[in-house]
Amino acid sequence: MSPRRGSAADGVVAWTHPGLDDALQDVVGPPTSGPAAWTLAISASEVSDAAAVPQGPEACYADETRAIVWGQWIAVTDGSSALWIAPGGASVDVRLHPASLAAPRRFGGITCTLAIGLALRLRARFHVHAAALELDGTALLVAGDSGAGKTTTALALALGGAAWGGDDIAYLRMSVDGEVLAEPTARAFHVRPTTVAMFPQIAAHAVPMVGDAGGRVALSPAKALGGGVWRGPRAPRALLFPQVTANPVTRAVALSDADAFGRLLTASALVLAHAVPGADQHFAALQQLVAQCACFSLELGADAVARPEVIVEVLRSELRGQDLRP
């Protein structure tokens, strides 16, 4: 079987089993041409019975997927397949059951995302649900839960001239000088029908996501957005937490560090997996990210639905008044 490769943070995710192709397309970005700092090798073998997982401390869970710590190994299972993460995150060995592949987007978006996120944490790369863009030279992250308005905000910014990086997955790591660097996963944007309606110029590039419960479409940012692209690791200087409101007018409200940190915890839930090594470093990275950023709650109002450009106008106005280091 020919090898497949994708990117995550500053490394490469490599696999050979074609059954993982559909699942991993939503988890990793396209392969990059530059040198990789590390490679996460994913091997897979098919099983006909549900993969056995030993009893042990439950590190974390997401829906039916749970992560179990067994000695220095971590087993991530959806009840059918099991993904065994080797000590130090050196590799992932998958026991692949057909039931998981029957819903590849769910298997990829939840089970594979959790396994890769935990494996990368063992390499001091910390997962956060955030879009990543660069607006007028300022690197910013747009963080929040599904449905909060991350993709809407990211599309508005990208179509308004911002360099795009990704719409949902980014990894954080500490630099040698103690700052947090962010590297987004440049996968296809996942866009809800209501968001597509706000941006008619992207409709021609929207591709239905087969099996997606929310009826979302996949959008190639390179084709639909054009413009600049986020290059390499960047130190974010602004952190945005969008939320859809019933207000008539969109506004950005400055947040205290404590409020911003509390919101960031919900966007980086793996920090709570204390049974997995790296929890303290993960926690410290989130604290540093808040400390180095101007933090805002972005309250999306009715005017943003009628005219999404208002999102860019509001943010440019707020960021112009901040002392943001390059």
* pLDDT, tens digit (0-9, with 9 covering 90-100), for 14-59: 999 999 999 998 899 988 877 899 999 999 999 999 888 877 778 8
Q: In this predicted structure, what is the pLDDT of residue 33?
A: 78
138, 18: one domain: no
190, 239: one domain: yes
What is the average per-residue pLDDT within 164-187? 94
What is the residue whose two structure tokens read 């990543």?
132
Q: Is residue 326 part of a domain?
A: no
83, 99: one domain: yes
Q: In this predicted structure, what is the pLDDT of residue 323?
A: 61
Segments forming the whole domain that contains residue 138: 126-320
Task: State the average pLDDT for the chain.
Answer: 91
Confidence grade of residue 286 (pLDDT, cut at 50, 70, 90): very high
223, 261: one domain: yes
258, 166: one domain: yes
Q: In this predicted structure, what is the pLDDT of residue 187?
A: 87
What is the average per-residue pLDDT within 4-16? 94
Determine the Cα–Cα distance for residues 133 and 146; give it in Å rounded to an integer. Answer: 18
Question: Does the CA dihedral 288-293-296-300 come out positive or negative?
Answer: negative
What is the average per-residue pLDDT within 180-187? 94
Q: Is residue 325 part of a domain?
A: no
Confidence grade of residue 288 (pLDDT, cut at 50, 70, 90): very high
- Of 187-201, 212-226, 281-295, which gets the smallest average pLDDT? 212-226
SS3 of residue 199 by DSSP: coil
- The number of domains in the chain is 2
79-104 tens-digit pLDDT: 999 999 999 999 999 999 999 999 88
Q: In this predicted structure, what is the pLDDT of residue 1?
A: 64
195, 303: one domain: yes
22, 165: one domain: no
Q: For residue 112, is pLDDT > 80?
A: yes
CB 211 within 8 A of CB 109: no
100, 156: one domain: no
Last residue of a domain, one of 95, 121, 147: 121
CA angle 39, 236, 247 (to 5 degrees): 120
> HEC profile for 10-26?
CEEEEECCHHHHHHHCC
Question: Does the CA dihedral 191-285-113-62 come out positive or negative?
Answer: negative
Query: Comparing C-alpha atoms, which of 194, 196, 174, 192 is closest to residue 183?
Result: 174
Q: What is the CATH number of the domain that holds 176?
A: 3.40.50
- Of 107-116, 227-236, 317-326, which gets the smallest average pLDDT? 317-326
281, 218: one domain: yes
312, 279: one domain: yes
209, 294: one domain: yes
Q: Is residue 15 part of a domain?
A: yes
100, 137: one domain: no
Judging by beta carbons within 10 Å of its beta carbon (0-12, 13-18, 19+), is residue 243 exposed, middle or buried?
middle
Query: Comparing C-alpha atoms, which of 138, 171, 166, 128 is closest to residue 13?
Result: 171
224-261 tens-digit pLDDT: 887 788 888 999 999 999 999 999 999 999 999 999 99
